[in-house]
């Protein structure tokens, strides 16, 4: 049985407001953005002057000007998770990384972060972009009993604002940068117990979402939005039926794509606003970091007996879910 001992997150500090995007005069306005996607601002590692003056028309240049790269955010999130778990990096026997905006192909971001932190165990990528939290936990949950190391560090980091064409009124409003990390143990009890994991994908739809290594992010927006809402509803409904969830006290966290989509999902499943945890409204879509970062930001709000559903979807197309249960209080 897997437990989560601690979680961390990190973000850059440049705020890209709706008013700023309106002032770029690319055919949008602050009211439209808030109404259509429910995001008030997003956090970027790019200088605001660079975005204003160039609209990031040379995305290769963005990385050289950024305050943080995916590596930097990943390190900060990992250090935060280790600190909250009370675990030194020297005890980590495995590091599993997800990064859709790496600086290099080889060595991988996971290997570079492990080296920087002083992790002595193996380090490699298990990658799917947005549903990384579900993928990593499902991946680890399928190991034979006794084969995993005592402590495992998972992380997801992305700086997708480096890949945004700010002349596109939709893409510029979606993305923020961020990283999240979580410390797992199959042997030691933590605040959260992993009750169930699920992950799958449909590679025939791989072109629906694309992050071009040397160019811009692009997607089939309408198709991806419809897929995301429908598939998340299915994931949540399955867990409701299997585990008799009680939305008067249980918690929902979805993929932090945009607030409007999340509200469609919570309305469909009758999840009250106070039990819907999210961060997309003031950070933007952080790809695979969004859902675990949301959980990390609410770590101190986890209460005895609470169950948490994390249902995530994204590129691939891929999707998955995790059911977590507070475990430190001894409540079943």
Q: Which pLDDT score is estimated for 332?
A: 37
The residues of the chain scoring below 70 in pLDDT are 329-332
- Determine the longest span between alpha carbons in the chain, in angstroms: 58
Beta sheet of 152-159, edge-to-edge order: 122-125, 94-99, 152-159, 177-185, 3-10, 192-201, 318-326, 307-314, 251-254
Q: Which pLDDT score is estimated for 329?
A: 60
In DSSP notation, 152-173 reads: EEEEEEEEGGGG--TTSTTHHH
Q: Which pLDDT score is estimated for 215?
A: 80
Q: Please tell me the distance from the alpha carbon of residue 69 to that of residue 104, in angstroms, as a whole number.
A: 11
CB proximity list for 60: less than 8 A, separation 6 or greater? 214
Q: Which pLDDT score is estimated for 304?
A: 93
- pTM here is 0.95
Q: Which pLDDT score is estimated for 85?
A: 98
- 309-to-65, 156, 194, 238 alpha-carbon distances in Å: 38, 19, 10, 11
- Residue 24 in contact with residue 216, Cβ under 8 Å? no
Closest to 161 measured CA to CA, from 258, 80, 262, 50: 50
One fold for 3-185 and 192-326: yes
Domain boundaries, given as residue ranges, for the chain: 3-185, 192-326
Fold of 3-185: Peroxisomal Thiolase; Chain A, domain 1 (3.40.47)
Closest to 181 measured CA to CA, from 105, 277, 308, 70: 70
Closest to 256 measured CA to CA, from 168, 156, 325, 164: 156
CB proximity list for 110: less than 8 A, separation 6 or greater? 95, 96, 97, 99, 123, 124, 125, 155
- 198-to-94, 112, 212, 246, 297 alpha-carbon distances in Å: 21, 29, 28, 20, 23
May I ask the CATH architecture of the domain 192-326?
3-Layer(aba) Sandwich (3.40)
Residue 266, CA atoms < 13 Å, CB-side half-sphere:
24
């Amino acid at each position: 049985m897997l437990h989560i001992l601690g979680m961390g997150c990190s973000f850059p500090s440049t705020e890209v407001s709706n008013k700023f995007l309106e002032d770029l005069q690319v055919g949008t306005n602050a009211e439209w953005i808030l109404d259509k996607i429910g995001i008030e601002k997003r956090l970027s590692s790019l200088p605001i002057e660079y975005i204003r003056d160039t609209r990031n028309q040379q995305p290769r240049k963005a990385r050289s000007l950024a305050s943080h790269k995916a590596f930097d955010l990943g390190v900060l999130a990992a250090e935060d998770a280790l600190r909250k778990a009370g675990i030194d990096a020297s005890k980590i026997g495995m590091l599993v990384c997800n990064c859709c905006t790496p600086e290099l192909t080889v060595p991988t971001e996971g290997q570079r972060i492990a080296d920087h932190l002083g992790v002595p165990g193996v380090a490699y990528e298990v990658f799917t972009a947005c549903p990384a939290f579900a993928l990593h936990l499902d991946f680890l949950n399928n190991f034979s009993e006794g084969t995993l190391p005592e402590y495992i560090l998972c992380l997801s980091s992305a700086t997708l604002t480096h890949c945004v064409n700010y002349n596109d009124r939709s893409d510029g409003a979606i993305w923020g940068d961020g990283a999240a990390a979580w410390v797992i143990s199959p042997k030691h009890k933590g605040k959260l117990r992993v009750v169930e994991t699920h992950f799958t994908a449909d590679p025939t739809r791989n072109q629906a979402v694309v992050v071009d290594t040397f160019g811009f992010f692009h997607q089939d927006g309408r198709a991806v939005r419809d897929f995301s809402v429908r598939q998340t509803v299915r994931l949540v409904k399955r867990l409701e039926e299997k585990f008799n969830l009680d939305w008067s006290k249980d918690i929902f966290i979805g993929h932090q794509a945009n607030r409007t989509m999340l509200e469609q999902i919570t309305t469909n499943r009758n999840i009250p606003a106070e039990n819907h945890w999210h961060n997309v409204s003031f950070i933007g879509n952080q790809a695979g970091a969004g859902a675990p970062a949301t959980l990390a930001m609410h770590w101190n709000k986890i209460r005895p007996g609470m169950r948490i559903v994390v249902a995530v979807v994204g590129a691939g197309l891929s999707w998955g879910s995790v059911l977590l249960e507070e475990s430190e209080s001894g409540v079943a």
